[in-house]
């Protein structure tokens, strides 16, 4: 039997430049190492799902690209990764989303985003692709595209028995109606704090934050804790499941790799604990490498890592 995942979310071209420090107003600064990388949380999670899925799972990606060369190149790259690109819309009058990222020598970064075509992923577009969501086993979303469309997609999914998984990044206030539609929520510590008002510092505070999500109707809460792993709670029973110890070089897209891996592992029938272990392995490999999509591992190397 074939399982089907729909990922709905953003696509960004990340323009990255190294700077000795951030420029002051009116100042021109010499940077170095300029590169363009494919990113956007939706795209990263779709790529992770496609590289890490078993052969019986199909990954559809509902997204909007601009009418530009980078948009066309990204679509071709998604197809090469095995993503079904039939649900990707190219918007005539728009540019593909962009993130201008400065990375300072002290490791800090500063990011300015222009949504571009991502802002066109609206309720009307979700209606056009409703049948894909209705036929899916799971719908994975983040918060870089318009919230009204995310709510609409969740509603369609819930009505048709499609499990909704929300990675609430970047964090913003969410309608309780949306939280009630969720099978699973996967915030990091900061996002969990913004959404619940509870500072997540240890197992006890993680349990309190999880309880708050459960009270709002979310069935499974998974708070990612960076190198420490995750706090995982189902029916109020929670535990920390540790990650893998690796030498981290760049944690960009660790969370996205984790989410994509987790959902495809669940779709192939793994238990939640085993799916988390698989996702930890994929995310651990990703932090040993530079960049967003280039750092996301394939299934075979992740299974080797676990062997
Ligand atoms: P990002 O925004 O950097 O993509 P995030 O804040 O959404 O990440 P994290 O909680 O930092 O998510 O990490 C997600 C998962 O990635 C962790 O649960 C873990 O599996 C893995 N991970 C992150 N950092 C490390 C690390 N230093 N070593 C090993 N695994 C890591």
Any idea which residues carry the catalytic annotation? Answer: 256
Name the DSSP class of 199: -
Residue nearest to atom 28 of ligand 1 (CA): 227
**Residue 24, Cβ density class (10 Å: 0-12 exposed, 13-18 middle, ≥19 buried):** exposed
How far apart are alpha carbons 292 and 239 in whole angstroms?
Answer: 29
User: Which residue among 45, 52, 167, 224 is best mutated to probe the pocket of ligand 1, counting the most ligand atoms within 8 A of its Cβ?
Assistant: 224
Instruction: Tell which atom from ligand 1 comes closest to the C-alpha of 230.
Output: 18
Instruction: Tell which atom from ligand 1 comes closest to the C-alpha of 256.
Output: 4
pLDDT digits (tens, 9 = 90+) for 177-235: 999 999 999 999 999 999 999 999 999 999 999 999 999 999 999 999 999 999 999 97
Which pLDDT value is given to residue 268? 96
Give the whole-number percent of the chain exceeding pLDDT 70.
Answer: 100
Q: Assess whether pLDDT exceeds 80 at residue 171.
A: yes
Residue nearest to atom 11 of ligand 1 (CA): 226
Report the separation in Å between the CA atom of 35 and the middle of ligand 1, taken as the mean of its atom positions: 23
pLDDT digits (tens, 9 = 90+) for 72-116: 999 999 999 999 999 999 999 999 999 998 888 887 888 899 999
pLDDT digits (tens, 9 = 90+) for 8-54: 999 999 999 999 999 899 999 999 999 999 999 999 999 999 999 99
Report the separation in Å between the CA atom of 237 and the middle of ligand 1, taken as the mean of its atom positions: 23
pLDDT digits (tens, 9 = 90+) for 244-279: 999 988 888 899 999 999 999 999 999 999 999 999
Q: Is 227 in the pocket of ligand 1 (CB under 6 A)?
A: yes
Residue 83 has phi, psi (to 5 degrees) of -85, 140
Per the prediction, the chain carries an average pLDDT of 95
Q: Assess whether pLDDT exceeds 70 at residue 66.
A: yes
Residue 74 has phi, psi (to 5 degrees) of -65, -40
Indicate the length of the chain as a whole number.
Answer: 307
How far apart are alpha carbons 226 and 241 in whole angstroms?
Answer: 12
Residue nearest to atom 12 of ligand 1 (CA): 255
Q: Assess whether pLDDT exceeds 70 at residue 1.
A: no
Q: Is 230 in the pocket of ligand 1 (CB under 6 A)?
A: yes
Residue 291: which pLDDT band, with cuts at 50, 70 and 90?
Answer: confident
Which pLDDT value is given to residue 251? 85
Which pLDDT value is given to residue 209? 96
Tokens of 162: 């499609």
Report the separation in Å between the CA atom of 231 and the middle of ligand 1, taken as the mean of its atom positions: 12
How far apart are alpha carbons 196 and 217 in whole angstroms?
Answer: 13
Reported ipTM exceeds the 0.90 cut: yes
Closest CA to 298 of 53, 37, 59, 77: 53
Q: Is 45 in the pocket of ligand 1 (CB under 6 A)?
A: no
Which pLDDT value is given to residue 254? 93
């Amino acid at each position: 039997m074939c399982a089907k995942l729909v990922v709905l979310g953003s696509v960004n071209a990340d323009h990255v430049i190294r700077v000795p420090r951030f420029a002051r107003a009116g100042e021109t600064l010499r940077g170095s190492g300029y590169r363009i990388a494919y990113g956007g949380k939706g795209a990263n999670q779709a790529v992770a799902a496609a590289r890490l899925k078993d052969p019986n799972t199909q990954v559809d990606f509902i997204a909007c690209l601009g009418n530009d060369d980078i948009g066309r190149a990204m679509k071709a790259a998604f197809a090469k990764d095995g993503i079904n690109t039939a649900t990707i819309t190219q918007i005539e009058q728009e540019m593909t989303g962009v993130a201008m990222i400065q990375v300072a020598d002290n490791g800090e970064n500063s990011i300015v985003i222009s949504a571009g075509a991502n802002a066109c992923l609206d309720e009307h577009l979700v209606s056009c692709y409703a049948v894909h969501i209705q036929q899916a086993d799971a719908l994975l979303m983040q918060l870089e595209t318009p919230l009204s469309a995310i709510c609409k997609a969740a509603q369609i999914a819930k009505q048709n028995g499609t499990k909704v998984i929300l990675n609430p990044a970047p964090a913003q206030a969410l309608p309780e109606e949306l939280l009630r539609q969720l099978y699973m929520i996967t915030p990091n510590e900061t996002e969990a704090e913004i959404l619940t008002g509870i500072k997540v510092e240890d197992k006890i505070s993680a349990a309190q934050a999880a309880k708050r999500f459960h009270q709002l109707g979310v069935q499974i809460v998974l708070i990612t804790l960076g190198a420490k792993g995750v706090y995982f709670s189902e029916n109020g029973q929670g535990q920390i499941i540790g990650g893998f110890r690796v030498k981290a070089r760049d944690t960009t897209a660790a969370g996205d790799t984790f989410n994509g891996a987790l959902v495809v592992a669940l779709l192939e029938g793994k238990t939640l604990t085993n799916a988390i272990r698989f996702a930890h392995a994929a995310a651990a490999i990703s932090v040993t490498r530079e960049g967003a999509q280039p750092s996301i591992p394939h299934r075979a190397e992740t299974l080797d890592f676990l062997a």
